[in-house]
Amino acid sequence: MRDRKEARKRAQQLVSQMTLEEKASQLRYDAPAIPRLGIPAYNWWNEGLHGVARAGVATSFPQAIGMAAAFDTELMQMVGDVIAQEGRAKYNAYIAQDDRDIYKGLTFWSPNVNIFRDPRWGRGHETYGEDPYLTGELGSAFVKGLQGDGEYMKAAACAKHFAVHSGPEALRHQFDAKASKKDLYETYLPAFEKLVKEADVEAVMGAYNRTNGEPCCGSKTLMQDILRGQWGFEGHYVSDCWAIRDFHEHHMVTDTAEESAAMALKSGCDVNCGNTYLHLLKACQNGLVTEEEIGEAAERLLTTRFLLGLFDKTEYDRIGYDRLECAEHLETAARTTAESLVLLKNNGILPLKKENIKALGVIGPNADSRAALVGNYHGTSSRYITVLEGIQDYVSEDIRVYYSEGCHLFRDRVESLARRQDRISEALSVAKNSDVVILCMGLDETLEGEEGDTGNSYASGDKTDLLLPQVQRELAEAVIQVGKPVILLNMTGSAMDLRYFEEHAEAVMQVWYPGARGGKTIAEVLFGEISPSGKLPVTFYNSIEELPAFEDYGMKGRTYRYFEGTPLYPFGYGLTYGDVVVDAVECNGTLIEVDSQNRMPEREAVSDKWKVTRQREIPWADTSEKLMIKAKITNRSDTATEEVLQIYIKNLDSEYAPPNGKLCGFARVFLLGKESRWVTLEADRDAFLVVNSDGEKEIDGSRFLLSVGLGQPDARTRTLTGKENVTFALHGLEE
């Protein structure tokens, strides 16, 4: 039943038999049964951000920001499919027992495709990072995997939170996010548009805040003009939870609950997560809404249920309980963890070699923490493998492993009756008796997360700065002063100020929240069974002093496209254990090669951040919608590794172009030792467009720089990697 017209026809026929009260009841997130029409109860609220959540045991993937670091659309689609399979397995098992409770349906309120514009935002780790193009590509792949391509929809995805939403968490119920038309259409809307137009996402969830004065769950501009008007969205719209109540309690755009319910419904909000729609009948009686408007929302919701096959027999009814945490799904989760790990620094200490180590110290509050494995919106795993456990299992009896918690995650002591920093002497003893120290620092969902769900009440889940908690910084300095080689594993969902570790640690790895069994894969990477290959989906700044105010939604000075300074670690950056270079690029029949030392001939400085390989411009006969680029990449080492080939584009003519260029293509590639291969990438035509001050996409300029490499073509990436992109000029784009 992937035919929406047929599903809508069935929904209309069913809704036509309902009373007004019955129609209104179906707009609740916990829609009750209507026995006389054969309609069972259905709860619309389910979560699947990185695995089926809040409904018992399910396969646990790295938090979304970690999955984004994989830069792997094929893998994202696989993850979506696993979540759909396990969601169906649970649904089949539960309805057999007539259990239709919350978190047990097939409408998953994922993915979160908001732009992670500021590292202080506590919910940023739910997203795919700071780049609209990357977010759209990964989000679309996830939606396609989740919804499937069968006769019926396997599960329904939901793009959230529409739109212009990324903190501050403490203000979200009354905040007005003001964005220019350019920023709106260039940064905040593209991922949503892609999910609607290309991935056919079934649902969209509104945000808590206002956008340019209108509450997002009652915005004519966002919901009617853009979503359903410009983009032709035909699915259903759901409010964020209790967001409609904010209309009259915090945004003050209405006076009563009846007015708020009417405003949301008339704007096109079909499902109320909350209880404000309990006032719809009174709103109808008072002439604020019509029965036809209530019925139209009910029809859209029943259409989704028909598309899912909830009233029919489907091919998914046979998905059994054995699919939960099956070997295949656990293998996919392990692969995702491996691809997500980002090696930020390596002075040659990694990979570790067992034969060179007699004693290994594992220190830090996240070393043996289950909370640091899973992030937020997580499910339950039947087994957790922390970093400590993963290392212990891997080295077995070959290496003595010493462990110390070192300090509390953020409090000044572990034992309440003890003195301040009561574990630091133990940590120093571990360091002194070890050949190498693995320092496991970071945060967890109690320090960065959602307002109302977090223990970080003083900042409502957001960070006030980019520093690790004071007790962790003190621990790190004390351990490093012992003089043993230290490897930092940073377990956070966001960019941190890691300057001290960049200067003093032998290696630094960003491991995010790596999934319930992530410790096993981390150990395999540390000891070289797997080469790290993740890339940063966000910029790591030096400090918040470099950034605009948190409440400022203008993009100037934010993210790699508009940041004016030098980052600590750039977007797109990440090392491997291999030595991969781009040898040559072919574009429009012109071959560009570099010499054996990876030096580029005829180098010409064009800006502070980009250098051109060839002064001669390459004409592009624009005969198709996409520009195809072939790149030859070579692994000069003996170590097999994966890498992420990336294309960036810079418009040289337009005042509307992002000053630092933007990502416009990427591909994950596996290379054996000494292997070379040609990889074909495509740059979408939209990459050559700019968004003007009226929010319109247009061709403005005919001279472009394209850069192909393993990261950005900026000076900081060149310094960190010692490698340069193949960058060349392109001209001749015709409208």
CA–CA separation, 101 vs 69, rounded Å? 34
Annotated active-site residue in 118, 131, 200, 240: 240
Given a contact cutoff of 8 angstroms between Cβ atoms, the answer to whether 613 and 602 are in contact is yes
| DSSP three-state, residue 425 | helix
* The Cα angle at residue 261 between residues 260 and 262, in degrees rounded to 5: 90
Nearest to 510 by CA among 489, 493, 528, 494: 489
CA–CA separation, 420 vs 418, rounded Å? 7
CA–CA separation, 638 vs 650, rounded Å? 35
Query: Per-residue b/e over 445-482, b at no fewer than 16 CB within 10 Å?
Result: bbbbbbbebbebeebbbbbeebbbbebbebbbebbbeb
CA–CA separation, 336 vs 78, rounded Å? 10
CA–CA separation, 118 vs 122, rounded Å? 10
Q: How large is the greatest C-alpha to C-alpha distance in the chain, in angstroms? A: 80
Given a contact cutoff of 8 angstroms between Cβ atoms, the answer to whether 620 and 730 are in contact is yes
Phi, psi of 105, rounded to the nearest 5 degrees = -95, -165
Residue 89, C-beta contacts closer than 8 angstroms, at least 6 positions apart: 319, 320, 321, 322, 323, 324
| DSSP three-state, residue 292 | helix
CA–CA separation, 618 vs 602, rounded Å? 15
The string of DSSP codes covering 199-222 is: S--SEEEE-SSEETTEEGGG-III
Residue 346: CB atoms within 10 Å: 18
Residue 359, H or E segment: strand 359-363
Phi, psi of 19, rounded to the nearest 5 degrees = -75, 170
DSSP label at 569? B
Can 240 be counted among the known catalytic residues? yes
CA–CA separation, 328 vs 93, rounded Å? 20
CA–CA separation, 629 vs 369, rounded Å? 45
Nearest to 538 by CA among 566, 567, 515, 514: 567
Known catalytic residues are 240
